[in-house]
A and B are shown apart, each in its own frame.
Chain A
Amino acid sequence: MAELAMRATELVKWFGEGETKTVAVHEISFDAWFGEMLFIEGPSGSGKTTLLSLISGILRPNSGTVMVEGQDLWAMTSDRIADFRLNKVGFVFQDYHLFPRLTTVENVAIPLILKRLDWNESINEAMKYLEIVGIKDRALLPPVKLSGGEQQRVAIARAIASRPDILIFDEPTASLDGDTGRRILEFVKKNILNEKRCIIIVTHDSRIFEYADRIIKMEDGRITGIEQGGEREE
């Protein structure tokens, strides 16, 4: 039986005050399990990015808890939350946010350097992850010289470099064509996902739902349903 990776309980987040108050996330509760690929799906403005931020230690909720390894994430100090993001969570941003002034391998080495590994050791380790994502030969090029799909792989390599338990993808196929997007998801499911890792993907691209184990559907800050991936059962 799979282990629990993360449990969100009655998360609430609003922005603004008074007349401008907007509730982005409305008492949302769900579990994420190791070994699963969990999709959060919904239209623009449904609160999925906000939810992603709440569970990854980026945005503090107004109420509710996020339990990771038996600890409430938001009861930790800001430095410990930063450590949590560095050691337990890997991010693949929608626009990748790679550093154009660094080489590909240096980009991948960033989380390792933040973990205080020696520079050369970080670079050597980063090379291994570039090998995993299949672009070791591009290691010394700046990211701007790579294709969209290759940049996505660099972002994935950077996200997994710190060996996180939870990997978070924000709209991973938004900047890619259909074929490349599918290839990336296939690759992630086959090579990155394992029994000790949970992958949470925020997307509204229905073409990739077939790769999901579960799909949390959101609308207006609420969960409207949880489906099984591919089969799309309520």
Chain B
Amino acid sequence: MKGILKIAYKLLVNDKGKFAALLVGITFAVFLMVMMTSMFAGILHRSSATVLNVGAKVWVMDPAVNTPANTIPLPDYVLDAVRSINGVKYAVPLYSAGALVKLRSGVYQSVTVIGLDDASLYGRPELIEGRIEDIYAENAFVVVKDSEFPKLDNPRIGTEFELNDHRGVIVGIARVSTGSLFGVPTLYTTYNRALQYIPSTRFTTAFILIEPKSGDAVSNIKAQVAALGYEALTKKEFIQKTSNFYKYQTGIGTNVLIMTVISFIVGLSISGQTFYTFILENLDKFGALKAIGAKGKELVFMILFQATFTSLAGYGLGIGLASLVITVAKLRLPSYAAMITYSSLGFAFVMVLIIAGISSYIGVRKVLRIEPFDIFRG
């Protein structure tokens, strides 16, 4: 069978024009599908940036909250009630709000301010410059060095700015695993300083972060919080809830799905049609092979091999091209939200197999129907 597959391979790749057209079709389809799903994955990932960066195991919030960006302040008693739940090791408040800072250049820039619990600094980022203790110093803020960092004029330790007529000083530069979705820099400070600097509503706690005593305690904590009229979600559940919001309650998911389906159809059309033409042009050769003594299943293997080989080569090229474009885009546009996930790769792979399957099916039908007698008749 190896020799037969080698013939199939040579018949395919030596027809350079057709082979190139097949590769272009599948590469293009994979590229588009991977780009679409990667952009969506990037958006979803960044939409949960706060959850990922703070890293708390359990988050308490108002049930109407859909994303970490849209908070509904919790009454102060909720924090006390949560702390009294059996299975809670500790619980701290988290402040999260948008604000406007005035830079030394006089430019105003939107920022996200995250206020960490004063006592524990639970959820603090990893510092790459400065010391975390300095966050307790007067007017102290830690800035996150992510893709939005240059918007604050690349601050250094000691750089000053104004926030709501208050003086702010950068005392540390931190890194986080995920940049924010909305293109605004992030500042960390203490919970109480955030309340002092930013105009507040009656209630100020955006989320309550819980460290459970054990994994088993989570279900009880969730039930007790629900009894209070609020919602406790694990980190994973909160990320999922955020993803679901963007997938199903905004137009993003639908648009990405439509674009992905269009990419698939375009790829299928180009590849299917080219492969069909390839089979038609070689139909008399397949008939001759049949007359010489090739069995039907051998011809089927040849066609399946040709379709699979082309599809996998196109898949590899498509993934490579998408990776290249995303890498170049991220170098040029640091805030570009796209990430190639295993799900994207798996999805594109399945789609490519479907393209290969449909293309082969058309070819196999045609080849199995050809009678060697037709070769004699010319």
User: Which residues from chain A sit less than 8 Å from chain B, CB to CB?
Assistant: 49-50, 52-53, 58-59, 78-79, 82-87, 91, 93-95, 97, 99, 101-102, 106, 110-111, 113-114, 116-119, 122, 158, 162, 170
Contact = CB atoms under 8 A, between A and B. Distances in A.
Contact of A122 (B3, B295, B373): B3
A93 to B, nearest CB: 6
Contacts of A94: 376, 378
B288 interface: yes
B300 interface: no
B331 to A, nearest CB: 42
Contacts of B296: 78
Contacts of B14: 101-102
Nearest to A86: B293
B294 A82 contact: yes
Interface stretch (B5-13, B126-134, B185-193, B240-248): B5-13
Interface size grouping (class) on chain B: 20 to 34
Contact of B376 (A49, A87, A110, A111): A49
B372 interface: yes
A52 B375 CA distance: 12
Given A53-B376, A99-B11, A113-B3, A93 B298 contact: no
A106 to B, nearest CB: 7
12 contacts: A53-B373, A58-B373, A59-B372, A83-B293, A84-B293, A86-B294, A93-B288, A95-B378, A101-B15, A118-B3, A158-B292, A170-B376
Given A101-B10, A110-B292, A111-B293, A116 B378 contact: no
B11 A58 contact: no
Contacts of A50: 373
Contacts of B2: 119
B292 A114 contact: yes
A113 B7 contact: yes
Contacts of B294: 82, 86, 114
Given A50-B373, A53-B373, A53-B376, 7 more contacts: A58-B373, A59-B373, A85-B293, A101-B15, A111-B293, A116-B1, A118-B3
Nearest to B285: A99
A101 B292 contact: no
B293 A87 contact: yes
Contacts of B375: 93, 97
A6 to B, nearest CB: 17
Interface of B: 1-4, 6-7, 10-11, 14-15, 284-285, 287-296, 298, 371-373, 375-378
A79 B284 CA distance: 20
Contact of B6 (A86, A116, A119): A119
A52 to B, nearest CB: 6
A52 B376 contact: yes
A44 B191 CA distance: 99
A52 B378 CA distance: 14
Contacts of A106: 7, 10
A82 B285 contact: no
A53 B2 CA distance: 30
Contacts of B11: 99, 101-102
A114 B291 CA distance: 12
A188 B289 CA distance: 23
Contacts of B373: 50, 53, 58-59
A93 B7 contact: no
Nearest to A161: B292
Contacts of A82: 290, 293-295
Nearest to B294: A114
Contacts of B377: 49
Contacts of A78: 296
A167 B217 CA distance: 84
A162 B292 CA distance: 10
A79 B2 CA distance: 19
Among B10, B293, B294, B377, the most chain A Cβ lie within 10 Å of the Cβ of: B293
A58 B291 CA distance: 7
A111 B292 contact: yes
A82 B293 CA distance: 5
Q: Which 4 A-B residue pairs are closest in the complex by CB-CB distance? A: A86-B293, A101-B14, A113-B3, A97-B288
Contacts of A84: 293
Nearest to A142: B14
Contacts of A158: 292
A86 B298 CA distance: 13
Nearest to B15: A101
A158 B15 CA distance: 22
A94 B284 CA distance: 12
A49 B291 CA distance: 14
